[in-house]
Structure 1
Amino acid sequence: MNEFNSMDDLRDELVTFLYDVKAIKLGNFTLSSGIISRFYIDLRILQSYPVYFRKAISLLKMLVFQRIGWDGFDYICSIPTSGTIFGSALSYELFKPHIYVRKDMKGYGTQKKIEGDLRSGSRVLFVEDVVTTGNSLLNAIKTIFDQTENNRVVVIMDRDQGAVEKFRVYDIKIDRAITINQTIEILKKNKRISDFEYRTIKDEMVET
């Protein structure tokens, strides 16, 4: 893979590939947030396709360097399970320490909720694969809020359904590699979806 592909090129390649392998599906789906949606995005499939997984990580790297900078954070943090696939890989690529926050505290052993060695007062970059309402991500941030400062978030795919606005209230910025609006423009341009399917997703964006 050419490491010097532009972000636009990488977005196009990644989105069309995700659609072709049915990681982007159209229909009627109930999301983990309880929202009923006309489309579903599952980026976990990328771990089975190393070339495209690397394209996703390259896209995140570009986003980090353009918007935040390598010196703009001390740790990378992810949320199990799917976010950890990407967070740990990005950590490896950027030579940054990685931690993750469990959804629930372990009921055995040390009963830790944070895995890894987090120094108090650190700046943390949270990595997520797909964000809708952002509730699970916000809960993870709250878990380590008193130990950290100037937290930032990067996501591969933002469904454009309120997370950015919600996090703005907490003075936390979300940088997105791909938005759902960019996704449907790419799919329409590359003749993957019909005009009707395009309008159906657009209508959902207006409704939410």
Structure 2
Amino acid sequence: MSINGNIEVLKEDLVMFLFDKGAIKVGDFTLSSGLRSTFYLDLRILQSYPVFFRKSISLLKMLVLSHIGYDGFDFICSIPTSGTIFGSALAYELFKPHSYLRKDSKSYGTKRKLEGVIDSKSNMIFVDDVVTTGQSIINGVNSITESKICGVFVVVNRGQGADKQFKKMGIKLYSAVTISEIFNILHKKKKISNKEVQSFFDELG
């Protein structure tokens, strides 16, 4: 089987697993950002299922290597809490240094916002599990002014504004699985109806 064939199998396996576990749901939901959505998505359960967590990390690894290359960056940075789960595992897999940015600086001790070590003027990628508006990552990017951001890598892009925000900043966003691919897989497997698929694409505009 080709590399692309392996990727498609990994995507399908991951999507079907998440759907069967209730980590992907179709309906009417209000997100933490306040946005309304026709679908619910939560990848945090993957850490409890090593086989499928490994599949998500494999997808991220192939994504990074195909678009940036192993020598194209020096550090991996993530945003707590979910992003750190995936960022640290990917760093281990790629044998790259990992750090993470706190949402708020510590109010005690050294009052650090960055946990870990990043060399100044280094090449860096950001990693997260899911991106919606991208604001949490943008806040992180803006707090690291000396490093070059080579790209943002996520398992799933919800397709709700992050692409435009990163484009304005001159940063490329890469996703292992798009939300459109998720809906197409679920529809192909007869897990969702034509009406539900149409509602989703109407939401994306």
TM-score by length of 2: 0.96
Rounded Cα–Cα distance in structure 2 between residues aligned with 1:41 and 1:204: 15
CA distance in 2: counterparts of 1:112 and 1:169, whole angstroms: 28
Q: Is the 8 A contact 1:16 1:192 kept in 2?
A: no
- Are residues 94 and 4 of structure 1, via their aligned partners in 2, closer, same or farther at CA, if it must alter by over 3 Å? farther
* Rounded Cα–Cα distance in structure 1 between residues aligned with 2:61 and 2:148: 22
Corresponding residue for residue 180 of structure 2: 181
Query: What is the CA–CA distance in structure 1 between the aligned matches of 2:57 and 2:7, rounded to whole Å?
Result: 11
User: May I ask how many residue pairs the two structures share in their alignment?
Assistant: 203
Q: CA shift at 1:5, angstroms? A: 6.4
Alignment correspondent of 1:49:
49
Equivalent residues of 2:141, 2:149 under 8 A apart: no
2:197 maps to 198
**Contact 1:74–1:122 (CA under 8 A) maintained in structure 2:** yes
Instruction: List per-residue Cα deviations over 1:14-62 (Å, max 9, x = no partner).
Output: 0111111010112222212211111111000101110000000000011
TM-score, normalization by structure 1: 0.94
Give CA deviations for 1:98-126 in whole Å, capped at 9, x if unaligned.
Answer: 00000011111111000001110011110
Match of 1:6, SS?
helix
Distance of 2:90 and 2:149 partners within structure 1: 19
CA contact (8 A) 2:126 2:149 kept: no
Q: Which runs of 5+ in 1 are unaligned?
A: none
**Once the 2 structures are TM-superposed, how far is the Cα of residue 4 of structure 1 from its aligned partner?**
9.4
Alignment RMSD, CA only?
A: 1.3
Q: Could you tell me whether the CA contact under 8 Å between 2:132 and 2:160 is conserved in 1? A: yes
Corresponding letter in the other structure for 2:39: F
Detail structure 1 runs of 4+ shifted over 6 Å in the superposition.
Answer: none
Q: How does 1:152-171 map to 2 (within 5 A)?
A: 152-171=151-170
| Matched ranges for 1:69-108 at <5 A | 69-108=69-108
Identity value in percent: 56
- Summarize the alignment of residues 58-137 of structure 1 with structure 2, pairs less than 5 Å apart: 58-137=58-137
The AA in structure 1 aligned to 2:30 is T
